[in-house]
Amino acid sequence: MAKKSGIGGRFYFGGFDLSGDVLTLDTVAGARTVLEVTGLDKSAVERILAKTSGEIGVTVAFNDATGQNHPAYKGLPTTDVIAMYCQSNVVGDAVAMLLSKQINFDWSRGADGSLIGSVQCLSNTAPLEWGTTVIILTTVSSTGDSASQDNGGSSSAGAAAVFQCTAFSGTDYTAILQDSSNNSTFETLISFTQITAVNKAERKTVTGTVDRYTRVNHSGTFTSVDVIVAIRRGTSDDADAY
């Protein structure tokens, strides 16, 4: 890995590709609160970790075209939404994944005539998760398997994976995240829920071993589907195990 700029990033929200509407990435934050539990016998503050949280915030230009930010954000849903910031459009690069609540949709009209909005998403039941892309946003036109990713070794603390579909034509489609120890024989690691419409997103978790190689199997009856899949492998240092 190497030092990288923020040029060429991507942003996906609830099954919408909003990369072209995002002007600035204002916040990608993962935080832990702490509790002060300083004993009488201590001369310095003593702290223990408490709850975790996460946040992603963006500034956007107004765009009410189909599939763009106004249709994506205007509903202010009460249900969970998934936000993803990809550092680049390269498979295997870093991606911030957030299972969240959208808490605002605010606009201002500048003196120069600009119409600029801001959206903030706060984590819900899971912290901000930094993972890597298994497949970047890709147009898939037939069933089959993606190229595999070599993650350098297996892990033993489970994983969280995120799927988003930004375009769909057909009857149904299912993304299946698979893993393999030898890059030859693959087994199902996570099967995402079958979709029959566009603008879908989902986060799923799995426990136990995740083998060295990962790929995505595309199944269903479809003519074209645009999808992105990312994974975050668990570690022994996680506050909550997958």
Q: Which one, of 111, 210, 200, 113, lies nearest residue 157 by Cα?
A: 210
Q: What pTM did the predictor assign?
A: 0.94
- The Cα–Cα gap between 220 and 172 comes to 5
Residue (of 50, 235, 212) closest to 129 by Cα position:
235
CB atoms within 10 A of CB 189: 21
**pLDDT tens-digit profile of 37-47?**
999 999 999 99
* Mean pLDDT of all residues belonging to the chain: 96
β-bridge mates for residue 28, sequence order: 56
Please answer whether residues 62 and 117 qualify as being in contact, where contact means their C-beta atoms are separated by less than 8 angstroms: yes
Residue 19: both structure tokens together: 């990369």
DSSP string, 60-96: EE---STTSHHHHHTT--SS-EEEEEES-SSTTSEEE
* Tens-place pLDDT, residues 3-59: 989 899 999 999 999 999 999 999 999 988 999 999 999 999 999 999 999 999 999
The pLDDT of residue 239 is 82
For residue 138, give the nearest of 219, 221, 228 by alpha carbon.
Answer: 228
Amino acid at 236: S
pLDDT by residue (tens digit) across 182-200?
999 999 999 999 999 999 9
